Structure 1
Amino acid sequence: MTAVNDEQRTFGPLGRVLVIIPTYNEAENVKPIVQRVRAAVPDAHVLVADDNSPDGTGKLADELAAEDSQVHVLHRKGKEGLGAAYLAGFRWGIDEGYGVLVEMDADGSHQPEELPRLLTALKSADLVLGSRWIPGGRVVNWPKSREYLSRGGSTYSRLLLDVPIHDVTGGYRAFRKETLEGLGMSEVASAGYCFQVDLAWRAVKAGFHVVEVPITFVERERGDSKMSRNIVAEALWRVTAWGVSSRASKIVGRKP
């Protein structure tokens, strides 16, 4: 386990846990992933944030919610990107009084069975990142090209933004409510792959205690990946722009 902004301070109780699972055409995956979350952390609640999936994912989520009072569904008008779905889920969870909000993919790449490890680490942190690139972390069934892209993206972001996080692009995360409230969510404009970089960078800049714990990331077995060239391109230019702006601001002595 590695930590950023390591400092001695007291952390309050975690409160209720909400696992947010954004979906778009995940009909094959939504039921298994919700069931695994409920089995791994029985006290946790699940919010499926569905972007009006044409394959009926939202309907299947409604059926799960009808059978289980700890499963909820947020129906969105259309596909607006991962970041927008998570931000909507965060706001819903904060409004409903949850103390912990967890990001988790619908495709099973983030293993719910590892969630207790993230929650344990969160007892003495503001934000916990599931990391593939620290000792004990790994990926399964990834082609080398995908691994190089992910490692390269994290390294590029870490160096350019001066963020001491090994897996800055990872999307398996547990936030305290107070952390999200202190990140300026209304100012977050990134939608895709770089949304994770944006939030991690904001957390470090704000002085929050950030911890990485190792996870095993498993490539999806069903459905299609949402990764695309446009998502990668957005991440590249946004991270570059943030880095250049931040360094220029430091040179002239003003806040980025």
Structure 2
Amino acid sequence: MDKIAVLIPCYNESKTIEKVVKDFKSVLPEAVIYVYDNNSSDNTAEKAEKAGAVVRHEYMQGKGNVIRRMFREIDAEVYIMADGDDTYPAEYAREMADKVIFKKADMVVGDRLSSTYFTENKRPFHNLGNTLVRGSINRLFKNNIKDVMTGYRAFSYNFVKTFPVLSQGFEIETEMTIHAVDKNMAVENVIIDYRDRPDGSESKLNTYSDGFKVLKTIIRLYKNYKPRQFFTLFSFLLGIIALIFFVPVFITYIKTGLVPQMPTLVMCGFVVLAAIQSYFSGLILSTIAQKSKQDFEYKLVQTEDKLKEFKSENSDKKVKGGEL
């Protein structure tokens, strides 16, 4: 088991990966640097290995798939995750790792948005998207995460081994944030300087398609994690629609004693039934979600026990090594 593992998912980052690996080795000399190559068509893997990283491969395309593989394969007390594009300075890694070790944080967020992101980033729609996503999640999940979509994070062993990776692409960061908030895990923020990609390095993030996936992820996770609020809102909207169509029918009935728009009245009845069904579905699903949280707490205890076993084994090996 590693003390600190630096995890770097990569796809065609040959221009920057060597510098990124060397920077992290300089700041965290005791860490093992893992570079996971995701079907790069350039010599990213060769350069990373030359710089001293342990290179592994994930053949299913997508950042979420790479992170799933990393989290399954690597055992460490502290995980530092960063991108291979040299936009995240390595000098903040020590502070982030210390928050996991000494303050028992489960996730440490490298906060770009409170420093240089909006001046360094040259893509205005990315700026708008980050602001929109951060505001949506903080409002829906009642939290104050400073940077939802940053790729620079530190994790505890407990977080990594209990986080269900469902997203395949760049929406994985949003999923991590919502998971940590919903499961009441300890989250810390570290303000970092952000720098834009160097010349010749191209972003793999598509502003529109990946942005749409992120918004879909927020809605999906809100439905899964907060079903009572989600379905109550849906029920309220259905009730408003039924009321809008019912009022003219009711006014006609008051004036004439007749209901000439009988199909409209029948439709209103069905919409009201759908609203009632939606509301009670939310109540039932909220009970299931609460049970899921209870099961998660038991899983955390089991994961903590496994971490203690790892530490005990490492300690025994060190003692035996000293005796030899």
TM-score for both structures, normalised by structure 1? 0.82
2:56 maps to 74
Provide the rounded CA distance (Å) in 1 between the counterparts of 2:203 and 2:129: 15
Provide the rounded CA distance (Å) in 2 between the counterparts of 1:62 and 1:121: 29
Structure 1 residues 88 and 114: alpha-carbon distance in aligned structure 2, compared to 1, 3 A threshold: same
Provide the rounded CA distance (Å) in 2 between the counterparts of 1:210 and 1:141: 26
Cα shift readout 1:88-136 (whole Å, capped 9, x = no counterpart): 1122212xxx2111110111111101111211222201211111234xx
Alignment of 1:93-242 (within 5 A): 93-94=74-75, 98-122=76-100, 123-124=102-103, 125-134=105-114, 137-139=115-117, 140-143=119-122, 144-183=124-163, 185=164, 188-221=165-198, 222-228=200-206, 229-242=208-221
Q: Does 1:44 align with 2:24?
A: no
Alignment check: 8 A CA contact 1:52 1:58 kept: no
Q: Does 1:23 align with 2:5?
A: no
SS of the residue corresponding to residue 254 of structure 1 reads: helix
Q: Which runs of 5+ in 2 are unaligned?
A: 230-281, 290-324
1:248 maps to which of 223, 227, 238 = 227
More helix by share: 2
Structure 1 position 190, deviation (Å): 0.8
2:66 maps to 85
Alignment check: 8 A CA contact 2:141 2:182 kept: no
Alignment check: 8 A CA contact 1:90 1:101 kept: no
Provide the rounded CA distance (Å) in 2 between the counterparts of 1:238 and 1:178: 23
SS of the residue corresponding to residue 42 of structure 1 reads: coil
Residue 145 of structure 2 aligns with an amino acid whose one-letter code is I
Structure 1 residues 46 and 223: alpha-carbon distance in aligned structure 2, compared to 1, 3 A threshold: same
Alignment check: 8 A CA contact 2:182 2:225 kept: no
Residue 147 of structure 1 aligns with an amino acid whose one-letter code is N
Alignment check: 8 A CA contact 2:38 2:57 kept: yes
Structure 1 position 215, deviation (Å): 0.9
Structure 1 position 33, deviation (Å): 0.6
Structure 1 residues 248 and 205: alpha-carbon distance in aligned structure 2, compared to 1, 3 A threshold: closer
Structure 1 position 245, deviation (Å): 4.2
Q: Which has the larger radius of gyration?
A: 2
Larger relative contact order (C-alpha < 8 A, sep ≥ 6)? 1
Alignment check: 8 A CA contact 2:8 2:36 kept: yes
Residue 109 of structure 2 aligns with an amino acid whose one-letter code is L
Alignment check: 8 A CA contact 1:163 1:201 kept: no
Alignment check: 8 A CA contact 1:109 1:219 kept: yes
Q: Does 1:54 align with 2:35?
A: no
Q: Which runs of 5+ in 1 are unaligned?
A: 1-13
Provide the rounded CA distance (Å) in 2 between the counterparts of 1:197 and 1:149: 12
TM-score for both structures, normalised by structure 2? 0.66
Structure 1 position 19, deviation (Å): 0.7
Over the residues paired in the alignment, what is the CA RMSD in angstroms? 2.0
Provide the rounded CA distance (Å) in 1 between the counterparts of 2:38 and 2:112: 27
More strand by share: 1
1:9 maps to none
Provide the rounded CA distance (Å) in 1 between the counterparts of 2:225 and 2:107: 22
